[in-house]
């Protein structure tokens, strides 16, 4: 049937890329599947606890049987029967109470994120209880607003001013308008940013998505993103300190530019960065954090310098992202290391 590998190539090319279900379908089914999954997890937990209880009970029975006669071990006392009936009634009652609650988990009571910072005028619907954001929450920033949230997989989303998003679930953000910055530190997890013109999926990265009525913009600062448009897939990457800046217009015309990872353009995200706790952190930890915040790579003068940084422990309070440039050189004067901040790098020497 297949004469050679060219047949495979022709067939695949003719068939085209596998079609993806519509985002709203994916979103809807995610919600219901997530709810069903949470119920399955609860059920598994309940079963495990029951098994553990039964196993403990059996162990206890076995121990008691060691000291009893064969008659007492084979005859079920009435007390046990009544206990079993009572337990069954209790389990039924608990199930009655619990199941309707569990059914709600997938709707707007599924915790998907936590609010970590707000500044200026910010509107969050429904209103928050203990900084917890549930699936379906609607976040809007006004002209002077800035807000940052952290999803359950530690991905941080920062909203610039005049931005509107819907946190559909723990893995899907709908960007209605405005600009968000995504900082996804874990390469093993990824989230989807859905926009009117396409979807962006990250692979352990930092990037910005900007939606206007006439365009979609994706600016890369670290890692790789996959951008899926109608019938077209693009990849955003970073190389040699330069990230892709991709713009897509409403006719799906794509233009590509570059932006330095250490460009001042990214400064708008800094107020949303959590302060760094110096207590018990190593110099290496601090440099790593500073590198992610500033987009500057770390250059160690030698492997020995890197080892020293890893073994140098710091102490003190918190360091704000905005004061990195001022504080870093001073702070390192208390160690055997020296840090020089260059345009695109933090150079560390002894």
Instruction: Point out which residues bind other proteins (CB under 8 A).
Output: 1-3, 5, 7-22, 25-26, 28-30, 32-34, 36-41, 43-45, 47, 152-153, 170-171, 188-190, 224, 233, 235, 237
Tokens of 244: 């892709």
Contact 35, 107 (CB under 8 A): yes
Q: Which is nearer to other proteins, 59 or 237 (CB)?
A: 237
Contact 236, 227 (CB under 8 A): yes
Q: Which is nearer to other proteins, 242 or 320 (CB)?
A: 242
Sole residue written with tokens 């954090």: 289
Contact 157, 151 (CB under 8 A): yes
Q: Which is nearer to other proteins, 223 or 295 (CB)?
A: 223
Q: Determine which helix (DSSP H) or strand (DSSP E) holds 96, and give its type and residue range.
A: helix 78-104
Residue 43: CB minimum distance to other proteins, A: 8
Residue 156: CB minimum distance to other proteins, A: 16
Q: Which is nearer to other proteins, 114 or 215 (CB)?
A: 114
Residue 16: CB minimum distance to other proteins, A: 6
Q: Which is nearer to other proteins, 40 or 81 (CB)?
A: 40
For 234-271, b where at least 16 C-beta lie within 10 A, e where not — what string?
bebebeebbbbbbbbeeeeeeeeeebbbbbeebeebee
Beta bridge partner(s), residue 300: 348
Residue 28: CB minimum distance to other proteins, A: 7
Contact 134, 111 (CB under 8 A): yes
Q: Which is nearer to other proteins, 116 or 347 (CB)?
A: 116
Residue 10: CB minimum distance to other proteins, A: 7
Contact 192, 201 (CB under 8 A): yes
Residue 226: CB minimum distance to other proteins, A: 9
In sequence order, the 6+-apart residues with CB closer than 8 A to the CB of 281 are 313, 314
Q: What is the DSSP letter of 68?
A: S
- Tell me how far the alpha carbon of residue 241 is from its chain's centroid: 24
Q: Which is nearer to other proteins, 30 or 276 (CB)?
A: 30
Beta bridge partner(s), residue 177: 164
Residue 217: CB minimum distance to other proteins, A: 22
Backbone phi, psi, residue 65, to 5°: -70, -25
Q: Which is nearer to other proteins, 4 or 130 (CB)?
A: 4
Beta bridge partner(s), residue 235: 226
| 3-state SS class at 143 | coil
Residue 1: CB minimum distance to other proteins, A: 6
């Amino acid at each position: 049937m297949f004469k050679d590998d060219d047949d495979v190539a022709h067939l695949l090319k003719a068939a085209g890329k596998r079609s993806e279900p519509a985002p709203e379908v994916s979103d809807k089914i995610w919600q219901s599947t997530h709810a069903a999954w949470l119920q399955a997890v609860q059920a598994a937990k309940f079963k495990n606890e029951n098994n553990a209880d039964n196993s403990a009970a059996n162990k206890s029975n076995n121990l008691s049987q060691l000291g009893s006669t064969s008659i007492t071990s084979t005859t079920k006392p009435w007390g046990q029967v009544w206990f079993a009936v009572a337990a069954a009634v209790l389990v039924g009652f608990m199930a009655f109470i619990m199941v309707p609650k569990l059914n709600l988990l997938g709707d707007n009571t599924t915790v998907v994120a936590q609010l970590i910072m707000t500044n200026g005028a910010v509107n969050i619907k429904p209103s928050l209880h203990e900084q917890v954001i549930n699936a379906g929450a609607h976040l809007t920033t006004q002209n002077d607003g800035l807000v940052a949230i952290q999803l359950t997989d530690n991905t941080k989303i920062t909203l610039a001013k005049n931005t509107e998003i819907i946190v559909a679930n723990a893995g899907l953000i709908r960007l209605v308008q405005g600009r968000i910055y995504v900082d996804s530190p874990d390469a093993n997890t990824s989230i989807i940013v859905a926009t009117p013109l396409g979807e962006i999926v990250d692979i352990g990265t930092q990037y910005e998505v900007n939606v206007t009525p006439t365009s979609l913009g994706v600016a890369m600062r670290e890692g790789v993103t996959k951008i899926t448009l109608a019938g077209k897939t693009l990849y955003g990457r970073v190389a040699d300190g330069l990230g892709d800046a991709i713009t897509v217009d409403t006719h799906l015309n794509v233009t590509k530019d570059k932006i330095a990872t250490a460009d001042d353009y990214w400064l708008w995200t800094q107020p949303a960065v959590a302060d760094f706790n110096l207590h018990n952190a190593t110099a290496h930890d601090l440099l790593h954090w500073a590198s992610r915040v500033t987009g500057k790579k770390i250059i160690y003068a030698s492997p020995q310098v890197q080892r020293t940084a890893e073994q140098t422990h710091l102490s003190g309070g918190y360091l704000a992202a905005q004061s990195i440039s001022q504080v870093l050189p001073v702070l390192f004067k208390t160690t055997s290391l020296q840090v020089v901040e260059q345009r695109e790098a933090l150079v560390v020497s002894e």
